[in-house]
Structure formats: structure tokens, C-alpha cells
Chains A and B, each alone.
Chain A
Amino acid sequence: MPQRKGMTGMRETNIDVLIIGAGPAGMAAAIAAREQGIDSLLILDREAEIGGILKQCVHNGFGLHRFQEELTGPEYAQRDINRLRELNVSVHCETMVIDIDASKRVTAVSRKHGVQVFLAKAIILAMGCRERPRGALAIPGTRPAGIFSAGTAQKLVNMQGYMPGKRVIILGSGDIGLIMARRMILQGAKVLACAEIMPYSSGLNRNIVQCLHDYDIPLLLRHTVIDIQGKERLESVTVAKVDEHLQPIPGTEIQYACDTLLLSVGLIPENELTKLIGAEMSAATQGAVVDNTLQTNIDGVFACGNVLHVHDLVDFVSEESAKAGRAAADYVLGRTKKVARAIAVLDGPGVRGVVPQRLRFTDTPEDVRFMFRPDKVYQKVKVQVLDGERVAYSVAKRILSPGEMAEILLPADTMQSFSSESISIRISG
């Protein structure tokens, strides 16, 4: 790798495409970029091994779309790991990025290499997401041991061989919480209940049936944890029913004696570096604003996977990230087509967090996939693309649910007819 001394006096290593994160997003982006002819390519990851969160997801259900097979997380990851090895892609593990700027200078630290500075032509942000912690919920009560996010418990059980506890309450019915309910039972614990503050679960029906019903674990809808008791170790939690304003209803309290509380209350894209580099952010997705090539508003900086918006299925993370990898390669190799113009894509009624948020026109137009979540459950509706007041494109959907990412594929020829400064996507009855 060519090196030169930068202004800070640190040696700078030139890299064509630098990828931050070696989970499913980073791996797919790297494979695609290398296959497009990028030789100078490096992935940085802070963990000891590549594969990201897939390593601890030992349950099945991955890969149905991409491989038409039902794989476990480690098996899904291994396919990408094998391909990366075939392609001889460099990965630096146990390497943490601590600084990044808009000139695409990236500072990373590791035990092995100390402080390193990379000067990249293109950067792909693939850092994934984190779980919402207890602190974000403001549950009253003491601060004993025994309260874990579901993903932390998953790591303890599946990667490190520890059982977090014996009598478990789960707060939140996200998929990780449901998966962990079953895992705790199969590894010998007792799961007393799963409390969900909303009137519906945010998890997949499959997981409600196969993780809760199969083991007679009650799903308490419109319920939440209102108090936590215990000094050193968790001793009990108080669960209560909530009203339509999500406020606890007095007189509905139930106290559960338990030593473990698992939280499965949402995921947040991990965008500290994205903000540090100065990329424009979306309040709806909590990820960067990108165009249809997954490029942020900073030239040559791309984002993909759960750092961009939280997906339901890894298959779609891989697909999106491969696209970002190809786009970064096109950018570096000077194949990016000249932009005639770009317009904004806005959330219309019923639509939350559409991605991409910008539409870039090129001289060789391609179909564009838009992804979003509906704000509630809809049946037999149309998803429409509006150019000003005009309905430019409309597609019927049998069902839309907030628990499942929705998508529409906008045909390339439709795009050519847009005359407004912005288009919007809406759900129409």
C-alpha cells in the first residue's frame, strides 16, 4: 500500500475503497467492490472475527431469499467469509475507527498496528445498529444485576456459554426478544412472560408461534414493566396494563419473581462516524440521507445495511450492500455517470423513512427500489408515487405492516416523466 506523510505527521495509507464494519453489510459490499475490479480494498472491524451479529444468531431462518435455503446465522456468514477469502480481501479485525473526515481521512487504532491513518477514495459505512438500552426507557426502580438487552443475553448464551439467569421476563416483543425467549427455555431456564406495550407485536408471526406459543409463554399485549426490585441481583419486576396513551392503569399490577429481565425494545443505527464525517441525517430512519446509488451527500461516501435503516432480513442487507459496493467501485473507477439532476424523495401520508431519500438521474436510467415502513397495518391499499399532484406510479399491496419493511420498484421510464423538485410516496386507500 502506498504511504505518504500527511499534515499530522502520521503515515497515511492510500486505499481505493475503505469499508467500516465486517458484518453482513460490509462483507457484501467488499465482495461486490472486488468483483467490480477494485484491487485496493480494506475492511476494518472492531471485533476479533468477521461476520458481525450473524455469529451469535445460531437460530435458523436466514438466507431464504438469497440462497433459497434456510440457514443459521453462522452458516449464512460463512458463505460470505469463504467468498472474501477466495477474493483475497484484506480485513483488519480488532481495529476501531476513532476519527473520520469529509476529505475521507480515516483514523483507526488497534493493538497490532497502533494508530493508522487511511486516505480513501471511497468509504462505505457499514457499522450496523445497536439495541436500545434500559436508560432509553426510563423504567423506575433499582439498578440490580440481571437486566440485559436481548442481544447481550444472546451473546452470553450462544458465544460465551454463560446463562444469564433462571427465571426470565422479557420486555418488548421484537424478534430478538422472541428468539431469546425460546433459547432461554431450550437451555434450561423458565420464561414467565413477554410484555409488549403496543396492542400488537413488532415480531414476525412465525416467531410469536414458534418461540412463544410452542412453549406456552404468555404474550401480554398493552403491558409494560413499571418497577424493578432487587438490590444486588434482580428479585422481581412489576408489570402493568397500559391505557391508550400508554400510561399504566392502577390496579392492574402483577409482580413477577424473576432473576432476569431481557429488553427487546428496538434497534438504533450506529451512526457516530456518519455524523462525525458530516453526512446529512434522516430523522425518520436515524441513518444517513442517501441517493439511489447509496451515496450520502458527501462525495464518495456510501452507507448500507442496518447503519442506513434497520432491516428485518439479512438477505436484503446483503442485496443493498452489494449495490453500495458496486456504486463505490464505479465511483473510484470513474464510471459514475454524469448527473443531470437530482430530486428529493419525501415521506407522504402513511409512509415512514423512505430510502433512498434522493433520486439521481443518469444517462442510463435503472429501476429504483424504494423501501419504507407503513405507520400502521393497512390491507388492500395502493402505494403511490406523486410528482407534484400527479400520480406518476401506483402499485397495489395486499397487506402492509410496520413490522415488515415494504418496498416498491419504480420503473426507470417512469422517472423520466418527473418534472417537480421533489416526489413523494404515499399509501392510498
Chain B
Amino acid sequence: MHTVIDRLTAEISEKNPLQKVYIKGLLENDINDEEIQDLESILNLLTRDHSIEELADAYLLLVGDTMEETAFFLQNGHYRYSTLAEVNEKVYQNTEYMNKYMLGLLISGYLWKNHLAINRWFKQTIAKFHGKNYLEIGPGHGRYFLEAINLGNFDHYTGVDLSPSSIKLAESFIEMNKTSDAKQYELICADINKYEFDSLFDGVSISEVLEHVEDPRSLLRRIHEITNEGADIYVSVPINAPEIDHIYLFKSNEEVFKMVEEEHFTIKDYFYVTSNGASYEKAQKKRIAVNLAMHLVHA
């Protein structure tokens, strides 16, 4: 009997021979049974509203756009856009594109080895966070926010995202997947820099957001402002990783370490993975993408 994963990967492989070889290796060697079950559940939910062909096309749109942006980056040494106004006009205001992009990202969380590795590190790190109030900045499709809610280490969970379509997707994803005894949560469509919170946070997650803003330092300062001393913060950023809506180019792990320490966070732990398994040195030399995740503490 064919699973939804089989049907999806067959559709992807038919349209993209490179992905055929890559996915075959991933399914045989890299993804574990728990992740297969998670992906199967997610795909079963998604196929209520989308055909397999639509899901494959959403994933391949992300793959194709990533390759286009990588080609641009390798030729020019910078990302295509550098201001929020540009990506707002070209990407965020395009609801149809954004919906496909979010679906593609959700699927890539299981089909890209670097995403799988970072997701595993997120899970083990976030399990160590405890306290009263938890905040996720930019929950996107809601997968990480759901993970935190289901762990239940906090009394209250808040998610803040600028994008109405992300809030809608995250809400339906969480409602369909949360455990029966899940704690109270709220999703707010707002600008994190302007929203007035009632209390400070003891735990924060901000995953793949800093590269979407023009001034990541000011966002780090905002996180410092709205967290208690000693608060645990999970931050992940891509290095040399062009995507259509990435505007701030981080060039090395060391640059990120310096930035967070200058903004008064202590690095308790960190993890990184290169996009194709190359060494960090080779990735830096050839400008291959690196995903960096950190466990920071409000110093």
C-alpha cells in the first residue's frame, strides 16, 4: 500500500531528477521512523485541502526559487533584495505565492537534511526551557510553536507574526495537532517591535526570522527588553543562505556570535549544519549555506 509520502515523493521525483536521487538517499539513510510518522500525519492533514500534485508543486517551487536565489547570490555576492519594502511588495503581499511557500517550507522541514538536523536540535533544546510565559516570534507555519505548546513547560504561550496568512495556517495546524491537555495559547498578528505585552517572558523562540529584517540588532535588543534576566532564548539563523525573502546576509557563525554577545546575551550552547554535509571550512570557502542554532540566555 502506498503511503502519502510515497505518492508525494514519486510526484516530486518525476518532475525533478535531482530530487529523485536526493530523496531516495534521505528516505533510506537520514529520516527516522518518528519523523516519517510526523510527516505522514502532516501530509494526511494537508491533503484534506490540497492534492498531492499541489503539494509537490509547492515544495518544488521552494526548491526552484532557492536554486535561482543561490545562483544570483553566487554571481553577485549579496541577496537579491535588501529592504523589507522590496520583499513586502514582491513576496509578502502575494497571498497565493505565500501560501505555496509556507507549504513548501513545512514539507522541506522533513525532506531537507539540514532542516531535519536543526529541528532535532530545536526539540532537545526547547525541552530544557521552563517558566511562566513563552513567546515565539514569527511562528510561520506553526510547527515549532506546536512543539513548545505540547511540551507544556510554560503556563502561557504567545505567538506573534506579521503575516495574517501565517497566523491562519499556524492556528489551524495547532488546533489539529495539539494534545488534549495543551496549555493556553494565543496567536497575535502584530509587529513585535510595537506590540505592548502585559508581562515579560521566560522563554523565547525566534527561528529563521533575523535574516528577514533590515536591522537584526534592533530585534535582538527588543528581545532583551521583553524577557526576564536569565530567560532562555532559542535563535536560529541561516548563513549564506539565499531565499527570495532573505534580506540580511549573515556571512559566518562568528559574525552571529559576536552580534548576540554584543547585545547582552550569553551563548549557552550552539549547533550548526551545512546544507550539503560539507565541512564548515569548505562551506565558508564555497559560500555553501549553513544553518546555525543557539541557546542564548538573557545576561
Interaction A to B: no
**Interface residues, chain B, CB within 8 Å of chain A?**
none
